[in-house]
């Protein structure tokens, strides 16, 4: 074989080896791409499964409104920003009559044995001082009859009946809507006192830090559950405001908020507080 033919044969062999390497590399790239696609698809399916199977938390009977940023709400305390200034004191644009009529309708089974308040006329004058003694600290509150006399009458009745004693706060939201929800002895968000009563709302309520408001599951479905607004609260005027929380009480709530939550209320926003809250005793004094 001539030297020229040997060189041609060597060049041909080299070219064949290069083509073989390129084909092998292309095959490996195709394999990696297919494998990556499969992994991404599986991860997406698993994510959807857990989002649809592990949220909720059972807040159907009485719930605070959903957070406007429920899907991105932080559970890490380092991400929580809490306002320090109290909102202006709530007040009705038009005062109520001195006496209003209240009706408390039977609805379901009570989460703890308690009778409903008596129907009839109640005063819309004055305030009631109350104290929530909890495992995390003391939360003084002021109930204002001029805002919601039937609601104040119900809260006082439940407190004096020891309905709120040994009751957890089952939900906290830390972004969009910043509130702590309490008042269900079951701790599931579905329990109530076995009765309901009408809303006592008014238009253009501006909810803010320090407000005490009733949770509900629709119009005129108030029961025992309520929420404490400790920060931002961009809400429509659908939730009865019936009092305020003191600065000292809000400091206690702030500590609970900064501890974050478990994200269990994925649809409504928030979750069970990481720092557990349990009302040991609720007392009222006129």
Regarding whether 155 and 40 lie in a shared domain, the answer is no
Regarding whether 124 and 42 lie in a shared domain, the answer is no
CA 7 → CA 13, 15, 17, 212, distances in Å?
10, 12, 15, 93
**What global pTM score does this model have?**
0.77
Burial of 17 (0-12, 13-18, 19+ CB in 10 A): exposed
Ramachandran sector of residue 263 (left: φ over 0; alpha: ψ -120 to 50; beta: rest): left
**Residue 267, domain member (yes or no):** yes
CATH number at residue 211: 2.40.100.10
110-141 pLDDT, tens digit per residue, is: 999 999 999 999 999 999 999 999 999 999 99
Regarding whether 26 and 135 lie in a shared domain, the answer is no
- The whole-angstrom separation of Cα 274 and Cα 103 is 37
167-214 pLDDT, tens digit per residue, is: 999 999 999 899 999 999 999 999 999 999 999 999 999 999 999 999
**Residue 148, domain member (yes or no):** yes
> What is the domain count for the chain?
2
Regarding whether 151 and 46 lie in a shared domain, the answer is no
Regarding whether 140 and 278 lie in a shared domain, the answer is yes
**Residue 80, domain member (yes or no):** yes
Regarding whether 238 and 139 lie in a shared domain, the answer is yes
Q: Would you state the pLDDT for residue 268?
A: 77
Q: Would you state the pLDDT for residue 15?
A: 55
Q: Would you state the pLDDT for residue 265?
A: 86
Which residues span the domain enclosing 7? 1-53
Residues of the chain with pLDDT under 70: 1-64, 66-78, 286
């Amino acid at each position: 074989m001539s030297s020229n033919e040997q060189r041609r044969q060597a060049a041909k062999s080299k070219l064949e080896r290069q083509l073989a390497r390129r084909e092998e590399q292309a095959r490996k790239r195709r394999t990696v791409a297919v494998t990556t696609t499969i992994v991404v698809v599986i991860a997406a399916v698993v994510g959807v499964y857990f989002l649809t199977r592990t949220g909720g938390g059972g807040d159907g009977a009485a719930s605070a409104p959903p957070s406007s940023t429920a899907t991105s709400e932080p559970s890490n305390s380092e991400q929580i920003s809490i306002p320090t200034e109290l909102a202006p004191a709530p007040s009705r644009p038009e005062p109520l009559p001195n006496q209003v009529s209240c009706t408390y309708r039977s609805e379901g089974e009570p989460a703890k044995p308690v009778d409903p308040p008596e129907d009839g006329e109640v005063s819309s004058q004055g305030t009631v001082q109350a104290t929530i003694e909890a495992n995390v600290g003391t939360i003084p509150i002021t109930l204002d009859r001029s805002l919601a006399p039937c609601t104040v009458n119900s809260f006082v009745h439940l407190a004096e009946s020891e309905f709120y004693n040994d009751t957890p706060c089952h939900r906290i939201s830390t972004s969009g809507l910043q509130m702590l929800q309490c008042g269900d002895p079951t701790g599931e968000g579905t329990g109530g006192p076995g009765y309901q009563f009408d809303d006592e709302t008014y238009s253009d309520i501006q909810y803010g830090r320090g407000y005490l408001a009733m949770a509900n599951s629709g119009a005129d479905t108030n029961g025992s559950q309520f929420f404490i607004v400790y920060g931002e609260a961009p809400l429509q005027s659908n939730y009865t405001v019936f009092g305020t929380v003191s600065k000292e009480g809000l400091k206690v709530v702030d500590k609970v908020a900064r501890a974050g939550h478990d994200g269990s209320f994925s649809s409504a926003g928030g979750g069970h507080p990481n720092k557990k809250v349990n009302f040991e005793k609720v007392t009222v004094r006129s």
